[in-house]
Amino acid sequence: MELRAGDSWGIFTFLCAALCNLPALPALNCSEELGAGQSIQQTYDLTRYLEHQLRTLAGTYLNYLGPPFNEPDFNPPRLARAERVPSATVDLDLWRGLTDNARLAANYRAYSRLLCYLRVLDGQVGTAELRHRLAHFCASLQGLVLSIGGVMSSLGYPLPAGPAGPPAPPGAPAAPNDFLKKMDDFWLLKELQTWLWRSAKDFNRLKKKVPPAVVTLRLEARGF
Amino acid sequence: MKESRLCSEWDRAKMLPKSNELQKKIIMVSTIGGASEDSEAQRVNVTYSDLTPQVCFKIKERRVEIPIPESSIRVTIKSSGTAFATQEFAIHQKDISFVPVTPHILSLIPDFATSTLNLKWSDNGSVFPYGLHALWQIQILRKEAMEVVTQVTYYSKLTHEDVILSWNWTSDMPLECTSHYVKIRCYINATQYVGPKDWSDWSPAEVIPGKDTEPGGSGVFPLDPVVAVGSDLTFCCVHEEDQRITNMTYGSKSYTMMKLSSRSHAIRVLNASVSNSSGTNVVCRLENGLEGSVVFVGYAPDIPQNLSCETSNFLIIKCTWKPGRPSGLYGERRTKYSLFERTSGKNVSCEVSEVNKDHVCGFPVLPDQKTYDFVLGVSNPIGQAQSSLLVDITQRVHPKTPEKLTVTGNNSTSIQLRWFINGSFAEVRLLCQIEINSSHSERKLHNVSTPGRKSSTYTAQLNALHPDTKYQFRVRCSAADHFWRWSDWSRGVEQTTSEAPPARGPDIWRERSPSGESLIVFWKPLSLSETNGKIVSHEVSCHLLETLLEHKVVFEPSNRTEIKLGKSDCVISVVARNQAGSSPPSRITSVELPSDNVTTDQAVAMGNGINISWDSYPNMTCGYVVKWCHSSGSEPCIVDWQKFPSNTTNAVIKSALFKPGVRYNFSLYGCKSMGYQLLKNVTGYMKELPPKTAPNFIVEETSSDSILVKWEDIPVDECRGFLKGYLLSFAKGEKDALKPRLSESGNPELKVNNITDLTKKSMKILDLQGKTSYQLELQAYTAGGLSPPNSLYVVTKEDSVGLIIAILIPVAVVVLLGVLASIFCYRKREWIKETFYPEIPNPENSKALQFQRNICEGNKTLKTLEMNPCTPNSVEVVETQSTAPKMEDTEMMSPAAETTVPEDGCDSEMENHVVVSYCPPIIEEEISNPPMDEPGGSSQVVYIDIQSMYQPQIKPEEEPAIDLATTAGYKPQMQLSISALKIEGHSPVEEELDKTAGYRPQTNTNAWNMGTPDSPGSVESNNENASFGVHVQLIHDSFYFPQKMMKTLLNLLIQGGPSHTFFRTKQMINSGSSLHMNLPSE
């Protein structure tokens, strides 16, 4: 990132403007804020990619589960035992009322657990092709968990305690029969979809709070 | 004793008399006993027979057990209550029914997974003698209403021991769906019992309660079953009492439900098909909930096909098989394989991938065991199968691919190979196959048998290889003693053997140079298999007896050398040399023996070679040589030769260099001890072709009826075959570039001469036409066909006699005709003269006109004609012929003519004989106009129509209006309208007008006389030729034609001026008629 002499005046102006605005950004008040904007952007992109990936994967997987799971209007009541999958059905206002830290931590916890269930799911699938796709998705989701962790640490938040690091096998007992297992799978995918949708919104909001321009400018300044 | 036996045997059995009888008694007892029966004991006296003492039972119940009598007993029942009564009767044995004790269900165990009930009960066999047949009737009931589902009869044999009997029943409906009940009763076929036998009472119903009886029990049942394809399935949905069921689906299809109970509904699925990989869902939709189950429908495993086991290294035995039809079950329910070895009892479970078509399972080689008895077990939840194989592992050796193949030793004919095979083959011999490939020999296989070793290197020596040859080797191995399979070929290795001296001397020939001073020595290159290396040079030496005359070293690639020998002879020896050494020498003598009678034959190849045969020459001791050149052309020929043993008399010379259409010259030499002798020459073709070029030919000489043609031979090179002859064709034809060849034109006049005499070089073509163009074509031909034609065009010379005759005859004819015409004319001259040139009399000589002259003369002096009053002069034509005048008279005298004249304003006094009248006003009009109209002085023809005088219609003023600019005045009457138009176009051509409008023969005068003057149209149409006119040409160059002059002119005209008068009346003159003209006087 070499800068020519002619650019220095413009960059200096930008730098000044950015520095004036810096105190207004609470997220940038910590020492590790340098890569935050970029990692938020990356996390957002990854979330959108996972959303897209899950859309096709869910279609295939629900077809694999067979009717009625692949019927578009299938909406079974959520059984009590399915609650072991972290639900994203929190009231939106309530959710918005949370702090960034709380939201990120909730995201982090949720994906860590969802990932555990997804891995169990992967081991049970009968067809090799679907197994392969699920494994691919698991890897991506693992990336998302790490990415959220990265965002949190870059914003200076502590990682939530609990199922962090290597995901432990789910503590809840396995479903007693195949049908309930399929219901769990259905809910898992549904919750994943909801979580990803909400996470995308979260990261988008966060992204606006931490504009990447500042970060870029910072990086340029470092090269300067 | 007897009593005790009976008691001991039957004490447990119920010995009832015929039920109704005994019952009646008992009831009777009770009725007799009344209300106080409980307190009062009854006394039953039983007497078996008269001999035995009475047995008395004092009972309170209404039943008593008494031993079965041998035949009958007497029973007296006394009631000892208040109301005393005595009943006495006899019971016969045959009246007593045999009813077994009601069986007792020991256990009823449900298996919900398989919907099977297991029923256990004791047969109480110990109380019966051995061997009795027992029948058990079992009843299954279902639902709360206890509907009988099925009733089966179970058969058993009593063994005088208490045996627990067991019976299984599989329900078509899952046991969870609703409550199931089981009852049992029995019938014992006691054969020696004389009385009637009967079924026992039903045991109390044992119940397996359904989930619908459990509080909170709900779900779809059976739960996650695995069934075979084609099964009929029943699913039920158990729900809470307060819930209502919406529908039940199997897969995506909804089924009609059967109500089992208030909390349970069922559907029935017939002939289930294979479910998808996650199983088929059975879903029960409730008003506010959902229950479900997953059913897995698949196939039982097939018997594994083509089970085969082999080892590649004596460490692991690999068994492969084909699994057959996929089971349709996955995950935990997939088909599982296990390999069991019977001899050792070892079992190995096989991890089999779904993807591979061929399934593989490994089994470790056991020490000191050669024979293995494998059983491949296959199982899945639906069924199982197995396949077995007995193998001697030493006979199923499939070694791994040999590795590290290298060449170790190498000389010109042998090579040593080394390779390595992984595996311990200590127990078997190995057979290895070495493939030897070289560029100039066929693929060879060399087998090597070697004792097997443990993961070792093996070697093999290959001999009899060819020197200086590049070889490719590769190896594969198998077991030697019991061949099973070859390993794959190893990677190839390449090696070239070293060189060796050439195997033999070259094939040589020699020829004297044309001068005879030197000797050219030729040799043929050795074949690749003989060179044993790259030939570097040839050494040529020439020995006369023992003395070396010359020694030459000729380097490759030359295959000839010249030795200056002069006239002397020597023995030539040639040696080929390569890096490794020299070949043995080849020798040939230079001596050429004289020969006579050398003939030259012709030969054409039959098949692929040229056949040359010769007589046997007994003195040719060392064979024959056929020598030829590879080109017949002029350049130094490539000598080739072939040697034949002395017993041959013919040879087929073959060469890839022989080309069709090329002449080859072969020389046959005989070999004697002294030298070589030329025996014969042969010219030959591989194949004869048509000559390449057309023969050149010229026309030597032409005459009027013949052409002499001469031609030249075609050069041998272009002949391309043995010349057979020429075709000379000719036909009439002009030189024309577009004309096709004669032979192709299909000209019917085409003539062809075939000249087969090759010595003939010219030909005369006869019988031609003179001065005619001929096309000639000459073609040569061989057995291969015709050459292209050469064309010439020749015109034969003129035939002079004919020409002379052709000129003379017309001339003679013309002369003769002329003479004849002259004679004719002379003879008929009178007639001709009369016809063509009649004599016209001179009017001057006519006396009738004498007065006119006088008048004319008088005019000069006197006053000329007086016009007023108009007294027309008349010319009277007097015809000598009798008919004509009469007609004229009548015509001229017609009153119409008289009446018309005055109208004209011309006050002339018409006389009877007046024919031609002169009317001054007409002339006035005509002459007064031209000066104004035509000052340019153009010519004007004036017709003075004499007859128009009588025509009142044609007024002088009107004439110009008829567009007769050039005409005026007198006109022949009949041409008034037509000739006027004609004149317009031909105004200058007066003479033509003369002919038509001028003088006409008067043969038809009668005709025009007949026409009435007032109908000129009729005159015109009838008498075209009857014209009567005066033609005056006026060349006016501002010429003024005064009225008086006109009158004078007219006088002159009438007097018969030689140039302007066309007024001819031939008929009249001929007939000697006179012309009277009355000229008006002014």
Determine which of A31-40, B34-43, B301-310 has the lowest per-residue pLDDT on average: B34-43
| Length of chain B as a residue count | 1082
Distance CA B866, CA B948 (A): 22
Examine residue A68 and say whether the peptide bond preceding it is cis (omega within 30 degrees of 0). Answer: yes
Is domain B508-590 given the CATH code 2.60.40.10 in the classification? Answer: yes
pLDDT at position A159 is 78
Please report which confidence band the pLDDT of residue B489 belongs to, taking 50, 70 and 90 as the band edges.
very high
Distance CA A62, CA B318 (A): 40
pLDDT at position B897 is 39
B799 CB-near residues (< 8 Å, 6+ apart): B704, B705, B770, B771
Q: What is the 3-state secondary structure (H, E, C) of A61-92?
A: HHHHHCCCCCCCCCCCCCCHHHHHCCCCCCCH
Superfamily covering domain B697-798: Immunoglobulins (2.60.40.10)
Distance CA B454, CA B862 (A): 181
Q: Are residues A178 and B249, on separate chains, in Cβ contact within 8 Å?
A: no
Q: Are residues B279 and A177, on separate chains, in Cβ contact within 8 Å?
A: no
B138, B152 in Cβ contact below 8 A? yes
Report the range out of A100-114, B61-75, B105-119, B611-625 with the highest average pLDDT: B105-119
Residue A177 predicted with pLDDT over 70:
yes
Q: Are residues A183 and B292, on separate chains, in Cβ contact within 8 Å?
A: yes
Residue A3 predicted with pLDDT over 60:
no
Site from B243, B246, B278 to mutate, A interface, most A CB atoms within 10 angstroms = B278
| Length of chain A as a residue count | 224
Please report which confidence band the pLDDT of residue B184 belongs to, taking 50, 70 and 90 as the band edges.
very high
Please report which confidence band the pLDDT of residue A149 belongs to, taking 50, 70 and 90 as the band edges.
confident
Contacts of A179 in chain B (CB under 8 A): 220, 223-224, 281-283, 291-294
Which one-letter amino acid corresponds to residue B269? V
Distance CA B5, CA B249 (A): 68
* DSSP of B807-836: HHHHHHHHHHHHHHHHHHHHHTHHHHHHHH
Distance CA B277, CA B35 (A): 76
Examine residue B869 and say whether the peptide bond preceding it is cis (omega within 30 degrees of 0). Answer: yes
Residue of B nearest to A70 (CA): B252
Residue B930 predicted with pLDDT over 70:
no
pLDDT at position B433 is 92
Q: In the sheet that B939-943 helps form, which strands lie side by side, from edge to edge?
A: B967-968, B939-943, B1031-1035
Distance CA B20, CA B41 (A): 23
B727 CB-near residues (< 8 Å, 6+ apart): B752, B753, B754, B755, B777, B778, B779, B780, B781, B786
Residue B817 predicted with pLDDT over 90:
yes
Q: Are residues B294 and A182, on separate chains, in Cβ contact within 8 Å?
A: yes
Please report which confidence band the pLDDT of residue B808 belongs to, taking 50, 70 and 90 as the band edges.
very high
Residue B266: both structure tokens together: 């069922």
Q: Which helix (H) or strand (E) holds B967?
A: strand B967-968
Residue B815 predicted with pLDDT over 90:
yes
Helix axes B1043-1055, B920-928, angle to 10 degrees: 120
B218, B159 in Cβ contact below 8 A? no
Examine residue B841 and say whether the peptide bond preceding it is cis (omega within 30 degrees of 0). Answer: no
Distance CA B159, CA B105 (A): 19
Mean pLDDT of all residues belonging to chain A: 71
Residue B274 predicted with pLDDT over 70:
yes
Domain ranges of chain B: 2-98, 105-183+198-209, 215-298, 305-395, 403-496, 508-590, 600-685, 697-798, 838-1082
Residue B156 predicted with pLDDT over 50:
yes
Residue among B275, B289, B292 whose CB faces A179 most closely: B292
Domain ranges of chain A: 31-168+179-209
Residue B162: both structure tokens together: 């208490």
Handedness of CA B163, B169, B174, B180 (dihedral sign): negative
What integer is the mean pLDDT of B839-845?
A: 74
pLDDT 10s digits, B673-719:
888 888 888 888 888 888 888 888 888 888 888 888 888 888 887 88
pLDDT at position B874 is 62
Q: In the sheet that B707-711 helps form, which strands lie side by side, from edge to edge?
A: B697-702, B707-711, B762-765
Please report which confidence band the pLDDT of residue B893 belongs to, taking 50, 70 and 90 as the band edges.
very low
pLDDT 10s digits, B464-474:
888 888 899 99
B113, B222 in Cβ contact below 8 A? yes
pLDDT at position A194 is 84
Contacts of B331 in chain A (CB under 8 A): 124-126
pLDDT at position B985 is 41
Residue B380 predicted with pLDDT over 70:
yes
Residue B924 predicted with pLDDT over 50:
no
Contacts of A124 in chain B (CB under 8 A): 331
- CATH class of the structural domain B105-183+198-209: mainly beta
What are the CA-CA distances from residue B661 to residues B180, B653, B664, B756, B790 (Å)? Answer: 109, 16, 10, 21, 21
pLDDT 10s digits, B518-573:
888 888 888 888 888 888 889 888 888 778 888 888 888 888 888 887 778 888 88
What integer is the mean pLDDT of B360-367?
A: 89
Q: In the sheet that B429-438 helps form, which strands lie side by side, from edge to edge?
A: B441-451, B429-438, B470-479, B493-496
Query: Does B215-298 match B403-496 in CATH topology?
Result: yes
pLDDT at position A81 is 58
pLDDT at position A24 is 44
Q: Which residues pair with B749 in a beta bridge?
A: none
Residue among B249, B283, B293 whose CB faces A177 most closely: B293
Contacts of B354 in chain A (CB under 8 A): 128
Tell which CATH classification among 3.30.70.100, 2.40.50.100, 2.60.40.10, 2.60.40.420 matches the domain B215-298.
Answer: 2.60.40.10
pLDDT at position B600 is 85
Interface of B with A in 176-235 (CB under 8 A): 220, 223-224
Residue A127 distance to chain B (closest CA, Å): 7
B860 CB-near residues (< 8 Å, 6+ apart): none
Distance CA B1031, CA B1062 (A): 7
**Torsions phi, psi of B551, nearest 5?**
-140, 125
Residue B285 distance to chain A (closest CA, Å): 9
Tell which CATH classification among 1.20.1250.20, 2.60.40.10, 3.40.50.720, 3.30.420.40 matches the domain B403-496.
Answer: 2.60.40.10
Contacts of B249 in chain A (CB under 8 A): 67-68
Q: Which residue has the higher pLDDT, B469 or B410?
A: B469
Residue B335 contacts A where some CB pair is shorter than 8 Å = no
B214: DSSP letter:
S
Which one-letter amino acid corresponds to residue A157? Y
Q: Which residue has the higher pLDDT, B207 or A216?
A: B207
pLDDT 10s digits, A56-106:
888 888 888 888 888 888 887 776 655 566 666 666 777 777 777 888 888
Rg, C-alpha atoms of chain B: 78
Q: How far is CA B487 from the centre of its chain?
A: 46
**Torsions phi, psi of B293, nearest 5?**
-150, 160
Residue B958 predicted with pLDDT over 70:
no
pLDDT 10s digits, A21-41:
444 444 444 444 456 777 788
- Residue located via tokens 């959520």: A78
Mean pLDDT of all residues belonging to chain B: 74
Range B855-875 burial, b when 16+ CB lie within 10 A, else e: bbeeeeeeebbebeebbbbbb
Q: Taking the CB of residue A116, how many other CB atoms lie within 10 A of it?
A: 18
Rg, C-alpha atoms of chain A: 21
CATH architecture for residues B305-395: Sandwich (2.60)
pLDDT at position B968 is 42
pLDDT at position B153 is 92
Report the range out of B25-39, B480-494, B968-982 with the highest average pLDDT: B480-494
Examine residue B222 and say whether the peptide bond preceding it is cis (omega within 30 degrees of 0). Answer: yes
Size of interface A-B (CB pairs under 8 A): 61
pLDDT at position B885 is 41
pLDDT at position A212 is 55
pLDDT at position B140 is 92
Residue B450 distance to chain A (closest CA, Å): 47
Residue A64 distance to chain B (closest CA, Å): 6
**What is the dotted CATH code of the domain comprising B2-98?**
2.60.40.10
Residue B366: both structure tokens together: 């056991």
Q: Which helix (H) or strand (E) holds A46?
A: helix A36-65
Tell which CATH classification among 3.20.20.70, 1.20.1250.10, 1.20.140.10, 1.10.472.10 matches the domain A31-168+179-209.
Answer: 1.20.1250.10
Is domain B600-685 given the CATH code 2.60.40.10 in the classification? Answer: yes
Determine which of A107-111, A116-120, B348-352, B861-865 has the lowest per-residue pLDDT on average: B861-865
Please report which confidence band the pLDDT of residue B1031 belongs to, taking 50, 70 and 90 as the band edges.
very low
B501, B467 in Cβ contact below 8 A? no
Residue B1048 predicted with pLDDT over 60:
no
> In chain B, what percentage of residues exceed pLDDT 70?
70
pLDDT at position B998 is 42
Contacts of A67 in chain B (CB under 8 A): 249, 251-252, 281
pLDDT at position B9 is 31
Q: Taking the CB of residue B503, how many other CB atoms lie within 10 A of it?
A: 16
Distance CA B105, CA B202 (A): 10
Contacts of A64 in chain B (CB under 8 A): 276-278
